[in-house]
Amino acid sequence: MPPRSYQLLLLLLLLLLVELACVAVAARSEGEEHAACAAANRTDAARLRADRLTVILTGYSERRLPLLRAIAGAYAEHPLVLAVVLLWCNPSTPDRLLLRGRGGIGFPPRVAVRRAASASLNSRFLPRPSDVRTAAVAVVDDDVLPDAAALSFAFATWQQHQRPAAGPGPLVGFFPRSHHLDLARGRWAYTAAQPGRYSMVLTKLMLLGTDLLRTYSCSPELAAARAVVDRERNCEDILMNFVAAEASGAGPVLVEAGGVRDWGDPRNDAGAGGGRGGVRDVGLSATGGLGHWEKRGRCITVFHRLLGRMPLRYSYGKVVEATTGEQGLCSKGGRLVRCDHE
């Protein structure tokens, strides 16, 4: 066989293997989704506790496991947190490494470790009736930790914005983003929070009603949008902002209180343990550069097209007086300061 034909055959075989792997992942994801939605349909919402909070942590990178154990333990000690669920989305991680670690130090007893059936980012919004017994959940990344006062204030804000007779309340978060119509390109763009307004909050730290998990994961109308999340390996938080805005008819609520340590922010200096090869560089936004923002703009455009409407709503204020910029704390020059502090 000529070398060129041999190379072409290898390429075709590689593409076939990739396609088969994608089909297998999709099948596992759909099976997990079906089981979760069936269980959620049997949940009595009236029995969910409104005075406590469930934290759902999502992890994938084995390099972040030591940090993740410390973060999970801190959440578990908070008096308002009823349960902490660690959703581990890396199927190749051995149980001995995940559960016990290289030093034999595992997760605290109040942290439930659950393996996702696939690496789908949609998994972080699956309804989990056996683990979630509260009316509110905090969906958080594995490199962000609010102090006790910040989490308490965010939860109180979420409670104040609930309207039992009018459906779910808005999302509550600390990290704002926005969208705007790029007229020159004929598409939506994803941006940092614009001066005075924002339309999304990130899952770096997002509080939402448990019922929104079922809407996101189980609505047939959102199946094509969830497939976009799987294909892009991105944008699940944007889709949840779509879902919440549609359900509440309102934009998200930005809060500021206490401090929020953000190890994943690229503005950490090298001494933060987050330089090259550190925990900072394994996140989607840290590794994607400008392409990450472009991809998320495309997601907004595609979600709009698939749904046939634009539910995102702008919000124009914060619950408390706040400084400009985000509230994450970064390490700079050996000190913890706000990440946007020069």
15 or 145, which is more confident = 145
pLDDT at res. 155: 97
Mean pLDDT of the chain: 85
- Alpha-carbon Rg for the chain in angstroms: 20
Q: What is the pLDDT of residue 276?
A: 39
Confidence check: pLDDT of 48 > 70: yes
pLDDT for res 39: 77
- Structural contact between residues 147 and 210, judged by C-beta atoms closer than 8 angstroms: no
Q: What is the mean pLDDT of residues 35-58?
A: 87
pLDDT single digits (tens) 66-118: 999 999 999 999 999 999 999 999 999 999 999 987 766 789 888 999 999 88
Instruction: Calculate the alpha carbon distances from 41 to 128, 166, 243 in Å.
Output: 11, 20, 18
User: In the predicted model, is pLDDT for residue 137 greater than 60?
Assistant: yes
> Residue 252: pLDDT band by 50, 70, 90 thresholds?
very high
Q: What is the pLDDT of residue 75?
A: 97
Strands (E), 21-171: 53-59, 81-88, 111-115, 136-140, 144-146
Q: Is residue 25 scored above 60 in pLDDT?
A: no
The pair phi, psi for residue 9, each rounded to 5°, is -65, -45
User: Cβ-count burial of 293 within 10 angstroms (0-12 exposed, 13-18 middle, 19+ buried)?
Assistant: middle
User: Of 183, 233, 175, 167, whose CA–CA distance to 207 is shortest?
Assistant: 175
Tokens of 197: 């307004």
- How would you label 254-277 residue by residue, b for 16+ Cβ within 10 Å and e otherwise? bbbbbbbbbbbbebbeeebebeee
CA max distance for the chain: 72
Confidence (pTM)? 0.82
pLDDT at 271 over 60: no
Q: Could you write out the DSSP letters of every residue in 145-167?
A: EE-HHHHHHHHHHHHHT--GGG-
Strand 253-254, strand 172-173: pairing: parallel
Residues involved in catalysis: 237
pLDDT tens, residue by residue, 183-200: 999 999 999 988 889 999
Q: Is pLDDT above 80 for 275?
A: no
Average pLDDT estimate for 255-283: 68
pLDDT of residue 268: 78
Is the distance from CB of 197 to CB of 314 less than 8 angstroms?
Answer: yes
What is the pLDDT, as a whole number, of residue 34? 80
Domains, the chain, ranges and CATH? Answer: 3-334 (3.90.550.10)
Distance of CA 52 to the CA centre of its chain: 20
